[in-house]
């Protein structure tokens, strides 16, 4: 198993990216609670991150609404199910932990979904920031609620040329 990393600049500050065997395995914002120790990041090598860097720059510029990158998930089967479900939340839309639990066929697992969501190692690309509390509140983001708010505002402001707006829950 080959693990390498790079660090790119972003409006949210430096973003460490980690790749494992050619797939994006980590994207960390700020001092996330579940960020692995520095030794786990492997050697610095910018080459495997050319596409990720380009796509993240396009995302922050408002020119990209979907990522097309190989991902290298490393979690429990339940966590990986939740992380794959996050990829189905459309750009500029939100869902709740309850709705996400229902979408994976586990309607009573809202808390477990929230825990798995919080351990998502590939922030932004796997859009855990699009999940809200059942009352629509901006809860539970490892990089902080203000960061979550900024990412949602970026997406709401760029979707179909609309003006920035408060996040809204999806109807699904």
pLDDT in tens, 49-76: 999 999 999 999 999 999 999 999 999 9
Q: What architecture does CATH give domain 77-158?
A: Orthogonal Bundle (1.10)
A 10 A CB-CB count for 7 gives 15
**SS3 label, residue 130:** helix
- Model confidence at 33: pLDDT above 80: no
Could you tell me the fold of the domain covering 3-61?
Answer: Double Stranded RNA Binding Domain (3.30.160)
pLDDT, tens digit, 9 for 90 and up, residues 148-162: 999 999 999 865 444
SS3 string, 61-122, reads: HCCCCCCCCCECCCCCHHHHHHHHHHCCCCCCCEEEHHHHHHHCCCCCCHHHHHHHHHCCCE
pTM of the predicted structure, to 2 decimals = 0.87
- Model confidence at 23: pLDDT above 60: yes
Residue 26 is classified by DSSP as: E
Q: Is 128 a catalytic residue?
A: yes
Q: What are the sequence ranges of the domains in the chain?
A: 3-61, 77-158
Catalytic residue among 126, 128, 131, 132: 128
CA–CA distance, 100 with 27 (Å, rounded to integer):
22
CA–CA distance, 22 with 49 (Å, rounded to integer):
9
- Model confidence at 40: pLDDT above 60: yes
- Model confidence at 103: pLDDT above 70: yes
Return all residues near 96 (Cβ < 8 A) that are at least 6 apart.
Answer: 131, 132, 133, 134, 136, 169
């Amino acid at each position: 198993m080959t693990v390498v990393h790079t660090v790119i600049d972003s409006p949210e500050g430096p973003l460490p990216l980690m790749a494992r065997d050619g797939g994006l395995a980590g994207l960390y914002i700020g001092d996330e609670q579940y960020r692995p120790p520095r030794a786990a990041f492997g050697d610095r090598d910018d080459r495997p991150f050319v596409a990720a860097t380009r796509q993240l720059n396009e995302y922050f510029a408002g020119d990209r609404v979907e990522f097309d990158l190989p991902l290298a998930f490393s979690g429990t089967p339940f966590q990986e199910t939740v992380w794959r479900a996050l990829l189905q939340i459309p750009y500029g839309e939100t869902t709740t932990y309850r709705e996400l639990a229902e979408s994976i066929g586990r309607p009573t697992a809202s808390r477990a979904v929230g825990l798995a969501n919080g351990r998502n190692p590939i922030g932004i690309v796997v859009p855990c920031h699009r999940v809200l509390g059942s009352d629509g509140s901006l809860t539970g983001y490892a990089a902080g609620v203000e960061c979550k708010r900024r990412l949602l505002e970026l997406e709401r402001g760029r979707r179909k040329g609309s003006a920035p707006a408060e996040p809204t829950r999806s109807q699904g």
